[in-house]
A and B are shown apart, each in its own frame.
Chain A
Amino acid sequence: MLRASLITIVIFALVLFQHCREPYDPAMENNVVSYLVVEGMINTDGVTTIQLSRTRRVSEKENRQVESGAVVEIESDNNNRYALADRGEGIYRSGFNALPKDRRYRLRIKTSAGREYLSTFAAVKLTPPVTVSWKQDSKGVLISGSSKDPTNQTIYYQWLTEETWEINSPLRSTFYIERTPAFRILQRTGQDRENAFQCWTNALSSNILTASTIAQSDDIVIGFPLVTILNGSDKLEVRYSILVSQYAISKEAYEFYEVMKKNTEQMGSVFDPQPSLVRGNVTSTTDPEETVIGFIDCSVASSSRIFITSQEAGNWKSSRVCQAKFVENDLTALRRELATDELGIVRAVYEFNPITGREALIGYDVANASCIDCRLRGTNVKPSFW
């Protein structure tokens, strides 16, 4: 009997908590909603960048729907206006401003459709300096930010990160393929070989990084986790850098981000709250009932950049596999194998023919194109800070 019950228990254990989470795609057609989305921070001590976009349907594959052709201005509470220029792609950017810190500011937007929007006035918040540190454990590298406001005034923090890392092509190739108009294999120039070897790429933070010290006696943030680089990532293959911008934000902005975070990042256990509508502090003066998403606060960031090399990170190893495979020198076979630009030629393979007494081209080693040409993963223009 003991044996029987043991078996039952094991079955039970296997089935109980597995498959508890399954993809779910509610059929939600015909929902055509297109609300204005406003994102950015008024910077009184530099360039202010605002992005305008619109909400899209869940089923739509395309990325953002940007809002172009709007007139965007920063407006102070004593009616001074500072224009932002439409830089395309929904990005609006001011010149380098040095605005009085004792005033309050808001954003005024007039879309090309003639609808007008205003954010609420926000006071200028100054941010204490940020310290960025990192540590390595069995999972990878964790980068975190710390700060301290001796005046106990900041309380609500937000961070934005910009990561940059160098990538080198593991395989070097002397060939490149021209697919149109005809399939041809051509020799690379020496310069092109160099250009395809060393590149840099970057990524902006994609999570909401906010913290509050309201429940603590001191306005101190210690080791707030910003970025985790898991083992095997190619970010630390050569050298890595991260720029952390820290903002002091208002309580309202913090709560806005908290709700957004709850709705979109933290859900997934049995006890999570119901989602709720996120609005923000932007309203339409044309139709106060209109839903607008976004929170425009006013803060002067403090920033810090650090570098980490692969040696410093315990001779970091990327899990990227760049293995070459042989394709015989036959035009049909080559065309078939190299039909898309995902693959490229690494080298030509010759074999000594004992009859002719010469080496003959018998085929090519091919590999993933991104292993050969780093420009497929980034840019070979060296960043100014590198």
Chain B
Amino acid sequence: MKLNRYYFILFLLLVVTPALAQERGTRISGNFRDLDIEQFAKQIESQTTYKIYFDQKQFDSLRVSLEVNDRPLNEVFDALFKNTAYSYAIDNQNRVYLTKGRTIDAELPTGLFAPAAGVVVARVETQITDLSVAADAGAPIANTENRIYEIGIKTSSLEGTAVLSGYMRNNKTGEIQVGAAIYIENPRIGTSTDQFGFYSLTLPKGSHTLNIRAMGIKDTKRRIMLYANGRLNLDVQPEITSLREVVISADKVANIKDVQLGVEKINIATIKQVPAVFGEADVLKVVLTLPGVKSVGEASTGFNVRGGATDQNLILFNDATIYNPTHFFGLFSAFNPEVVKNIELYKSSIPARYGGRLSSVLEVNGRDGNLKKVTGTAGLGLITSRLNLEGPIVQDKSSFILGGRTTYSNWLMNLLPNDASYKGAKVSFYDVNAMITNKINDKNDIYFTGYLSNDASNLNTDTLFGYKNMNASLKWKHVFNDKLLGTATGGIDRYQYNNHSNKGNVSAYNLDFAIQQLNLKTDFNYFLNPRYTIDFGLSTIRYQIDPGRYTPRGAESLVVPNIMEKEQAQESAVYLGNRFDVTPALSLDFGVRYSMFNYLGPKKINEYAPNVPRDPANLTGSTTYGNGDLIKTYHGPEVRLAARYAVTEDFSVKTGYNTLRQYIHMLSSTTAISPTDIWKLSDPNIKPQFGDQVSFGLYKNFRANTIETSAEVYYKRLKDYLDYKSGSRIVMNPDIENAVFNTRGKAYGLELMIKKLTGKFNGWLSYTYSRTLLQQDDPNAGELINNGEYYPSNYDKPHDVTLVSNFRISHRISFSFNATYSTGRPVTVPIGKYFYSGSFRALYSDRNEFRVPDYFRTDISLNIDGNHRVNQKTHNFWTIGAYNLTGRKNAYSTYFISEGQEIKGYKLSVFGSVIPFLNYNIKF
């Protein structure tokens, strides 16, 4: 190809150029209206002796409208093809060659066919309309590498820059492509598609090659000729043969180029290949393998990010807040892996558009339904079965995706041996997802997400724990122009639990709790120029909490109905975020968020004497507020700063500083998210939590960005985090401020990670050193904990090493192996014993003075795909594996009880042995 091009130049120089010296005797006149190239050529050939040669395919989008009067052919073509990709050449045999696309062709005429002075093409009308950009109905769809796509109305001037924007979609499913990198090489300008698959790039006018890289698609490029601002939608091909390769990040250099620190993105393919308990692909368990993320134990999908509590994570499923992301007390996460596209965890630099939680934001992004045809998947596992259906509602315009999972493990519980402690336990849960994507037109899209998860289980006790998440959200996205994009989202999120006990007819009860929030927010992205992007928006949330209802169950029950006063509040925020590339190497991300919290009536508020613990003894009175009365307002700014300096192409340094405010608190007498936890709004007696974090990181890639390494350190402070007084009662306590006190906390750590993204053997290895310490040293606030010294929090686990790996044996078989080690979590243990009330009793140590044995677990799994023929009706695959391969009895907690005259210590493990699993999935 290259060789041919040189021959062509040579041909032009040697043959064509001398021919130009002489004036062609044959001139052209006429009024040509909307002719295609063939018609136009025929007209010329009929008027002159010229013979015109061209490739029909290259010119199929050309229309000629021209009025000429006695002009030489070269002038006509000069005028006609000016600033287009088309060129012509005339040889001495009067043969005219029309070509298109090669830059050399576009340049040659301007150099070689400079119009003679004084010769003017006296034409008024438009000369060329290129249909490939003319259609106003929609932006062109670029789907091949070989064509040149022309953007904008052709102008003679290629000075300055223009904005190119559009959507990227998968040409197979019509699904939008999120997080795909689009860049040109020289000068190096790039961006990535946002959560709607939308991109906007400001480039110098002229011809460019757009390079496109993203997970799950083939690396590709598109050639463009940019004249003016314009739209170009990109259809990209999925990588069909890919056998679940570990890809943790969309862009191979994202870790170097992103300004933000501590951001982890994982796509569902990776999540699915990590062995999980019972073979259920588990979104949240994978999060736990990331550096800086820990949990208190196995039965808790509640997680702790960089020393934060489990309630300090904002968990969003398509913008809906999920309050309890787990099933069956935390053994499974409540996200159906079949409808999830990817997850993003922000543990350090939290974008200004998010707020309300101190530690992290976990975005779980749902997939869009297939826009082209109806497809589905079904899965059979030991514990759950799944069915998912997706497809177009209107082809290429709107689609739906429906997913459901349910368990049928009650029979399993009944199979247990008689002495097993959970024999006869009842387990029941399900979740349902429905998402609809509707493209109204090129500028407007509407998205609907509905989510429901439900649990009803007991642990062989006579109390049944039931809980539910219910979410619905509607999002409208509008493209104002190539630079401004806006979304408006409204939704309702609800979490509730309903526990009931049938124990003893007179004391049978129902215990209910509910939190509900109504959200409304708008977000705008403004692409000021290629180096500066602005995000801004507003949000408001109305919280409504039903803190507890304790009611009799059955006619014989003597339980007095106790219904606690509801509470409500409004949390609002306005934010502005900026991303500024100062130089190609230095980028800044700086934002500010101002949040305000209004605690609203009706409510009775207790008042306490100042400077004494909030105890019933110190109660001085109470005030009753009416409906909607403003009881208390808290407000303040939050800053979000991040900077990145790329020392070289594959080495960068980042730093960041954040402050955050949290106005709602989860109160729990256990360390995991459990079905009796309640959420409490800040009120005059309970202050909001405040946290700030400073972090610093180094990022270096090796071997053509196939190996990524990173090192991050952070230091974090917490203020007014709640801890519990000894033996405090949380559930159904109308004066909950009596049961808690404020602590001060600090957390710091180092996170190291090495990832290999490609190749037969891939995965990641991470090491985390982290500490989380709390302090209660104010005697006026209540009892001093550990004499007012810093004490480790319940989830302080200093050392943590995790390996996630995948080995692709063949295109159909891959093998996964995980290993994780961490320091045991702190516990309070007996340091002595005493005799009281007829038994020996344990005398406990200082809070969290001791630790449970260290945690270690390895898992393996083998993933076998049926085959990869694209056109068969169903695809199926098997997952076989073993969880906790070494059978180590990892302690979840330890406890000590008096059995007769003895104090006995026990450690409790959720999985006491190796757990084999088997999973079958079918795709249709």
Contacts and interface: CB of A to CB of B under 8 A. Distances in A.
B811 interface: no
A55 B841 CA distance: 9
B240 interface: no
A25 B894 CA distance: 10
A294 B417 contact: no
Nearest to A257: B837
Given A23-B904, A58-B903, A264-B897, A270 B836 contact: no
Contacts of A208: 837
B722 interface: no
Interface in A100-145: none
B425 to A, nearest CB: 8
Contact of B916 (A12, A263, A278): A12
Contacts of B907: 21-24
Interface of B: 278, 299, 329, 382, 412, 415-417, 419-423, 459, 461, 504, 506-507, 550, 558-560, 562, 669-672, 674-676, 724-727, 794, 827-839, 841-845, 847, 850, 889, 891-898, 900-901, 903-918
Contacts of A35: 832, 834, 843
A19 interface: yes
A371 to B, nearest CB: 23
B897 A267 contact: yes
**Max count, chain A CB within 10 A of own CB: residue among B415, B421, B726:** B726
Nearest to A258: B727
B910 A270 contact: yes
Contact of A294 (B836, B838, B847): B836
A328 B632 CA distance: 91
Given A8-B916, A22-B906, A26-B905, A264 B841 contact: yes
Question: Could you say which of A24, A53, A220 has the most chain B C-beta atoms within 10 Å of its C-beta?
Answer: A24
B62 to A, nearest CB: 62
Contacts of A5: 382, 918
Given A23-B906, A294-B836, 10 more contacts: A8-B382, A9-B382, A17-B416, A24-B906, A31-B845, A204-B838, A223-B504, A264-B898, A265-B897, A275-B896
Nearest to A269: B459
Given A17-B420, A274-B828, A263 B905 contact: no
A118 B355 CA distance: 51
B329 A20 contact: no
A12 B895 contact: no
Nearest to A15: B913
A19 B559 CA distance: 37
Given A31-B831, A257-B837, A24 B894 contact: yes
Contact of B839 (A37, A206, A257, A258): A206
B844 A53 contact: no
Contact of B560 (A60, A216, A264): A216
A217 interface: yes
Contacts of B843: 33, 35, 55, 293
Contacts, number: 232
14 contacts: A8-B917, A15-B913, A17-B423, A19-B912, A20-B908, A21-B421, A21-B909, A39-B835, A55-B834, A58-B833, A258-B727, A275-B828, A276-B727, A276-B828
A111 to B, nearest CB: 16
A25 B893 CA distance: 13
Scoring B559, B845, B903 by chain A CB atoms within 10 A of each residue's CB, the highest score goes to B845
B158 to A, nearest CB: 66
B834 A56 contact: yes
B900 A26 contact: no
Interface residues of A, number: 72
A63 interface: yes
A121 to B, nearest CB: 14
Contacts of B916: 8, 11-12
A317 interface: no
Contacts of B329: 270-271
A46 interface: no
8 closest A-B pairs (Cβ-Cβ)?
A276-B726, A259-B727, A19-B912, A206-B838, A24-B907, A15-B913, A267-B895, A273-B669
Contact of A218 (B412, B558, B670, B912): B558
B368 to A, nearest CB: 34
Interface in A349-373: none
Interface in A229-255: 255
A273 B670 contact: yes
Given A21-B906, A25-B905, A271 B676 contact: yes
A269 B507 CA distance: 22
Interface string A53-86: 1111110100110000000000000000000000
B421 A260 contact: no
Contact of A271 (B382, B504, B670, B918): B670
Contacts of B670: 270-274
Contacts of A20: 421, 889, 908-910, 912
A16 interface: yes
A263 B842 contact: yes
Nearest to A57: B832
A10 interface: yes
Interface in A1-45: 4-5, 8-26, 28, 31, 33-35, 37, 39
A268 B905 CA distance: 10
Contacts of A12: 278, 382, 412, 915-917
A217 B558 contact: yes
Nearest to A205: B838
B771 to A, nearest CB: 19
A216 B382 contact: no
Nearest to A25: B905
